[in-house]
Structures are given as C-alpha cells and as structure tokens.
Amino acid sequence: MGNAMINGVKLTPLRQIEVPNGDVFHALKSSDAEFCGFGEAYFSEVAPGAIKGWKRHNRMTLNIIPINGSIGFVIYDDREGSPTRGCFDHIVLSRDGNYQRLTLPPGLWMAFYGAGESTNMLLDIIPEPHDPIEADRRELSEIKFNFPCEF
C-alpha cells in the first residue's frame, strides 16, 4: 500500500526471478538510477508493532529493500522550500506482496514500524559507511503521526 508523494522519494518495483530450488530477488544494481555509491550494506530489524524513529539523514541517500516480514515507513517533509513541505508519506513494503525499493533522499524525517507478526527486516544500502553524526533524531512524539500498529 501507499505511493510516494514527497518530492524526491522514489519507489521502484523489484523483480523476483523464478529459479529452481529457490528464487532470486533483485535489490540494487550500480546501473540503477537510484544508486549513488556504496559505503555500507546493513540489515535493520523492527519488532512486530514496534516503531523506530524519527531519524533524519542529512547527507546520505538511503536505498531500502524489505527482505523479511512487512515494514511500514512514514516519511515527513519539513524541508524549507520543498513543494511537498508538511506532507507525510506512508508506505508498507514486504517481499511477499509489495516488493519495492524505497529511495529516500537526505533531509527527510523517517520512522518505520514492524507491520508483520514475525521478523521484520530491511536491507539498507548507503553511499558512505555508517556515521552517527550525519543523522538527527527526534522523539516519536515530536512529529505527530497516527501509526497504525497496535498488535
């Protein structure tokens, strides 16, 4: 569910290739328009019903792929001068059902929640190795959104 409406946010459908004994699932290629360099790949888990965020990357573009379970992403745009300033995107992705890559440019706030009842896991590919001072954080209560996760 959900379409990206915030300026610069992009959703890209990913292919599942049928292979005997186990399929192959595309994630990211260096030739993709959304690729902006490789600094690190890591996985992030989010427990069922739990929410991680808010966090804003100030330099890095995130390329996020849902690999386990189901994950809801909420993005908030408070960028000065943005045509979508004040808007929220709400997108739910999963490998089974809505297998898309989410590309998030720097400068936007994001929180994400575990929408599946078991393991929820994403792959994030970023253009520099992890750098904690590159991101800002806010408490969940500081940006109001009615998260639909109560299980």
Instruction: Give the integer Cα–Cα distance in Å for 129 and 113.
Output: 24
Least Cβ distance, residue 125 to its own copies (angstroms): 6
Q: Do the beta carbons of residue 11 and residue 98 sit within 8 Å?
A: no
Of 26, 52, 44, 62, the C-alpha closest to 119 is: 44
Q: Which is nearer to its own copies, 3 or 31 (CB)?
A: 31
Q: Which is nearer to its own copies, 6 or 75 (CB)?
A: 75
Q: Do the beta carbons of residue 104 and residue 62 sit within 8 Å?
A: yes
Residues found near its own copies in the complex (CB under 8 A): 19-31, 37-47, 50-52, 67-68, 114, 120-121, 123, 125, 128-130
Q: Which is nearer to its own copies, 1 or 47 (CB)?
A: 47
CB count, 10 Å around CB of 76?
22
Q: Which is nearer to its own copies, 6 or 54 (CB)?
A: 54
Least Cβ distance, residue 95 to its own copies (angstroms): 8
Least Cβ distance, residue 150 to its own copies (angstroms): 15
Instruction: Give the integer Cα–Cα distance in Å for 60 and 107.
Output: 9
Number of residues that make up the chain: 151
Least Cβ distance, residue 3 to its own copies (angstroms): 24
